[in-house]
Amino acid sequence: MKRTLVLTALLLAGFAVTFNACKKNNEQAAIEKQTDAAVKVENGRLAFNTNKDYYNYAETVKTETSAKTGFHSLFAALQASYKKTDKDPGLSATLADLDKFEFPAGFLATLNEKGEVKIGNEIIWYHDGNKYWIPASEEANLESLKKDPAQIKKFAKYGTTAVGHPNAHVDLGNTGLDARNQYVFFPISAISGTNMVGSNRKYVHEIYGKVDPYSDPTLPGINLYHASVILRLKMEWQGCCDWNPNASEERSEAWAVTGTCTLPGMSRLSYYSLPSTFNITDSRPSTRENVDVTLVTAEVVGALPSTWSIDITGTITSTFVGATDATGKWVNTGTLW
């Protein structure tokens, strides 16, 4: 009898685990389906009903699965145009302009190759460090307006500025960049013992602030900001004259980071849509692509505070696939920022 009760309990426990796992998977699938259903393609750009739909999609989309019929992403355009050798022509004027925005990977997958997206009844266009809002009713005149952006009445500044701090604690500007963690190396094959590349490579572990201003027709005249702190993991290659982004070899990135990022001075109506205290562990392979990890996001109502207060510790491991650990692996651990 006792044995029967134990077996019954185990079967019930197994059923509960299976049921909860299936429920969780179904809920996640439903969320992904709902997010994907909120976007469609119109005139070569993705179209969203609301800013919330736009940000939800940009922060969950995977660059490798973002292809849609009739849409060519900024991510794909940049990946195809980055210099692979010193002799390559590099980016066009339009792509070079958009590359300066240092968009997170999700934004790169959401914007088209012209830096456009449609939200509600407005076309959003990123250009020359600004974010422009153009009424969708002006679609026929869009290219003419772009030739003289001064005609566009609604715009806001969007940019990234470099800052440096000698201490571990970081007071990061809301559009600041801190790239103190860098490691130069030359990978040697673990199998043949020969050189795997023709020049030095460099891992860069950096954090940066991003602010995307937006508006809400239900809150006329009130400034709104989608502000984030993002961890970016990169591998660069050394050319004849400078370091170049997006080295083409395969690597793996793993991170286990904990910390806090707060934006002191936010109004009482503001809130963190991603908590200000975090503990994030994950890993992924990458080939010619930055790895972006959003640490914290704040939805700011009213005045935008200028500075994030940041403390981050943990371990970030970058590994050049096929190289010896001594020549291609960097374990960056301890107090990071």
Q: What share of the chain is helix, strand, coil (3-state, %, to 5)?
A: 25, 40, 30
State the pLDDT at residue 37.
59
Residue 13 inside a domain? The answer is no
Q: Would you tell me how many other CB atoms lie within 10 Å of the CB of residue 67?
A: 12
- Exposure letters 191-209 (e unless 16+ CB within 10 A, then b): eeeeebbeeebbbbbbbbb
pLDDT band at 258 (very low <50, low <70, confident <90, very high): very high
State the pLDDT at residue 2.
39
Q: What is the mean pLDDT of residues 85-109?
A: 85
Residue 12 inside a domain? The answer is no
Residue 13 pLDDT exceeds 50: no
Do 258 and 332 lie in one domain? The reply is yes
What whole-number percentage of the chain has pLDDT above 70? 82
Residue 30 inside a domain? The answer is no
Distance of alpha carbon 337 from alpha carbon 334, whole angstroms: 9
Do 150 and 173 lie in one domain? The reply is no
Residue 323 inside a domain? The answer is yes
Residue 22 inside a domain? The answer is no
Indicate the average pLDDT of the chain: 84
State the pLDDT at residue 170.
64
Distance of alpha carbon 176 from alpha carbon 161, whole angstroms: 5
pLDDT band at 245 (very low <50, low <70, confident <90, very high): confident
Q: Which of 159, 192, 209 is the last residue of a domain?
A: 159
Q: What is the mean pLDDT of residues 142-169?
A: 71
Q: pLDDT digits over 183-221, tens only? A: 999 999 999 999 999 999 999 999 999 999 998 888 888
Residue 174 inside a domain? The answer is yes
**Could you give the C-alpha distances from 291 to 105, 169, 255, 286, 331, in angstroms and in order?**
7, 23, 11, 7, 16
State the pLDDT at residue 7.
40
Q: pLDDT digits over 268-326, tens only? A: 999 999 999 999 999 999 988 899 999 999 999 999 998 899 999 999 999 999 999 99
Residue 157 pLDDT exceeds 80: yes
Q: Which of 96, 131, 159 is the last residue of a domain?
A: 159
Residue 134 pLDDT exceeds 90: yes
State the pLDDT at residue 38.
63
Do 248 and 328 lie in one domain? The reply is yes
Residue 35 pLDDT exceeds 50: no
Do 182 and 307 lie in one domain? The reply is yes
Do 187 and 297 lie in one domain? The reply is yes
Q: How many domains does the chain have?
A: 2
Which residue range forms the structural domain that includes residue 250? 161-336
Q: Which of 111, 126, 159 is the last residue of a domain?
A: 159
Residue 25 inside a domain? The answer is no
Residue 25 pLDDT exceeds 50: no
Do 85 and 211 lie in one domain? The reply is no
Using DSSP bridges, classify how beta strands 307-320 and 329-335 pair: parallel, antiparallel or unpaired. Answer: antiparallel
Do 170 and 47 lie in one domain? The reply is no
Do 194 and 321 lie in one domain? The reply is yes
Whose CA is closest to 277, among 292, 301, 257, 291? 257
- Between 3 and 66, residue with greater pLDDT: 66
Q: What is the mean pLDDT of residues 81-86?
A: 71
Do 124 and 176 lie in one domain? The reply is no
68's tokens:
């849609």
Rank 74-78, 253-257, 307-311 by mean pLDDT and report only the highest. 253-257
Residue 28 pLDDT exceeds 60: no
Do 264 and 302 lie in one domain? The reply is yes
- Between 43 and 12, residue with greater pLDDT: 43
State the pLDDT at residue 83.
67
Do 141 and 186 lie in one domain? The reply is no
Q: pLDDT digits over 208-217, tens only? A: 999 999 988 8
Q: Would you tell me how many other CB atoms lie within 10 Å of the CB of residue 244?
A: 20
State the pLDDT at residue 22.
47
Residue 9 inside a domain? The answer is no
Do 116 and 260 lie in one domain? The reply is no
pLDDT band at 17 (very low <50, low <70, confident <90, very high): very low
Assess contact for 255 and 276: CB atoms under 8 A: no
Q: Would you tell me how many other CB atoms lie within 10 Å of the CB of residue 279?
A: 10
